[in-house]
Amino acid sequence: MNSFKINSFDHCELYVSNAKQAAHYYQSALGFQPIAYQGLETGNRNKVSYVMKQNQIRFVLSSPLVPGTEIGQHIDKHGDGVKDISFSVDNTENAWRETTDRGAESVSKPKMIEDEKGEAIIATIKTYGDTTHTFVEREKYNGVFLPGYQVMDVQTVANPTGLVHIDHVVGNQPNGEMEPTCKFYEKVFGWHRFWSVDDKDLSTEFSSLRSIVMANENEIIKMPINEPAEGLKKSQIQEFVEFYDGPGIQHVAMSTKDIISTVKQLRSNGVELLKTPKTYYEKLKNRIGDFDEDIDILAELGILLDSDENGYMLQIFTKPIQDRPTLFYEIIQRKGSNSFGKGNFKALFESIEKEQALRGNL
Ligand code: FE2
């Protein structure tokens, strides 16, 4: 039993080479509103950060302002990617003390940060690769994000795309590292195994993967952990691990209450989404049975659908959002189902492999 409670995902911080331009993409393509900023104007000489928000989702986009920084080294090694998955907790001190007592490596001890809007307590520990988890205790803070950030002077208001909250965050591991990583979450956080697939469920003609979904006590936080499995050709997980140069965040899944409208908006904003073969929809009716959506619209947009005993879910994936074939996003609408789309993996993989082949990496 933990002496601290994780309330939700607080935010994800990405290290990117040009935060100003990335912020524009998150606003104009993904529909996030810039709400807070820190940089030269706020007295930060080394680092600039933009906080982008849509409903309960917050991304912090950070770039270095000078050479020789930890952020710069991270970008050189990994390309643009997710550095930190932050959790909102009721007690940062307890979260940091317990996780480090159970073997997590500390990056920064609990510290109180404050400005005229109140105070917050933050601490950071390491997880897989160069990825970190920050604990954020923000009950006594009333500002727009965290102390040290100024309210963004916004020139244009984003058109929201209906993204509501972070459903799950997936980490790719090198071969053989999935089990130790899951054990880390069991031991350090006291999490449990929520769902899993192995290479028997999950192989195409060419490649496969194994995945275990780790969840916290109240199952609000779900973090699937993947590793490549042997196939005839290179697994997409292996492609990630090579281009990210180690383990890291493969995708962040964001929920919507109306996936058809969200996907239409994302498409018209220029977001590149994976395509789904027409044969997928021919099989879908037999596989799933009844569902509310018009199958022709799903087919036109490439939205995938899968069911379990509790209901169904709809999902679609973007192409990688930077030049390296690493981080991408998932859009998901759950209608009863809490699963992770096992029935879609084959169609999804075949689509990803088409892209992989174009990159010369299959
Ligand atoms: Fe996912």
Ligand 1: centre distance to CA 77 (Å): 24
Q: Which domain holds residue 230?
A: 163-359
For residue 103, CA distances in Å to 145, 192, 293, 312, 342 come to 30, 17, 47, 38, 33
Say if residue 110's pLDDT is above 90.
Answer: yes
pLDDT tens for residues 177-218?
999 999 999 999 999 999 888 766 655 666 678 899 999 999
The verdict on 289 and 146 lying in the same domain is no
53: which strand partners? 33, 58
The verdict on 146 and 168 lying in the same domain is no
Per-residue pLDDT at 102: 97
Among 135, 132, 212, 217, smallest CA distance to 178 is for 212
Lateral strand order in the sheet of 57-64: 106-115, 118-126, 132-137, 81-89, 6-15, 57-64, 47-54, 33-38, 150-151
Boundary of a domain, candidates 121, 151, 181: 151
The residue length of the chain stands at 362
Per-residue pLDDT at 288: 82
**Structurally, how many domains does the chain consist of?**
2
Structure-model confidence comparison of residues 203 and 221, the more confident one: 221
Ligand 1: centre distance to CA 323 (Å): 20
Ligand 1: centre distance to CA 171 (Å): 10
Ligand 1: centre distance to CA 286 (Å): 24
Report the pLDDT averaged over residues 323-345: 92
Residue type, 100: T
Comparing 118-122, 177-181, 227-231, 309-313, the range with the smallest average pLDDT is 227-231
Ligand 1: centre distance to CA 316 (Å): 9
Ligand 1: centre distance to CA 314 (Å): 11
CATH for 115: 3.10.180.10
Among 251, 303, 297, 312, smallest CA distance to 275 is for 303
Boundary of a domain, candidates 126, 151, 176: 151
pLDDT tens for residues 302-314?
999 999 889 999 9
